[in-house]
A and B are shown apart, each in its own frame.
Chain A
């Protein structure tokens, strides 16, 4: 039973480019969360999605960031016109329902902006 799969594991972008991070939740999980970890900090909630719906995006920066979880395929976190401050580890997590904080995390995607 595969866990949460994230790709790419490492991504290097130059300022102004776009970054796309993908997440396939665990089988049977329809709830997906994205978290960001800046250096020397804890994880910070970004967005919570169910299939085809954004449930809570209160942690997403207002500009340049977007997320989706289509009916078919992985969830995608998209960062347009990246800046150096976007360099971080981005973790995706999934759960089978909304009534649990026991999330299953992927190994993360580490974005470096040059």
Chain B
């Protein structure tokens, strides 16, 4: 039962363009969403998060959009840089006693070409 899905296994983008990574979820109890970035042989690194009371959160080149009615969120990276090439994981939490109990998607491999 995949409660968080990233349907695109990979995405290729030219440097300077926008990267859009998508994520869908099925569990209505999720109220907190995050994006993590992972390089090979390293642990995931927190990137940006959004609470269900918001529909947009921005941090520098990174913006996360949340559409609760569609149970969909997306991460926009503008402009994309070669150093952004990594695996991006969408994650969700139902809060409660622990926001750290995360349900992750399968990941999307982003490649940014110079």
**5 nearest interchain CB pairs?**
A105-B43, A42-B104, A101-B99, A43-B104, A42-B106
- Indicate the size class of the contact surface on chain A: 20 to 34
A107 to B106, CA, bound (A): 18
Give the bracket for the number of chain B residues in contact with chain A.
20 to 34
Nearest A residue (CB) for B46:
A102
A-facing mask of B82-97, CB < 8 A → 1, else 0? 0000000101010001
Chain A window 1-20, contacts with chain B (Cβ cutoff 8 Å), 1 for yes, 0 for no: 00010000000000000000
Instruction: Report B91 CB to chain A, min CB distance, Å.
Output: 7
Which of B's residues lie within 8 Å of A, judged by CB? 4, 6, 32, 34, 36, 41-46, 49, 89, 91, 93, 97-107
In chain A, what residue has the closest Cβ to B2? Answer: A42
Partner of A42, one of B43, B101, B105: B105
| Complex contact A101–B106 (CB within 8 A) | no
B105 in contact with A55 (CB, 8 Å): no
B99 partner residues in chain A, CB cutoff 8 A: 98-101
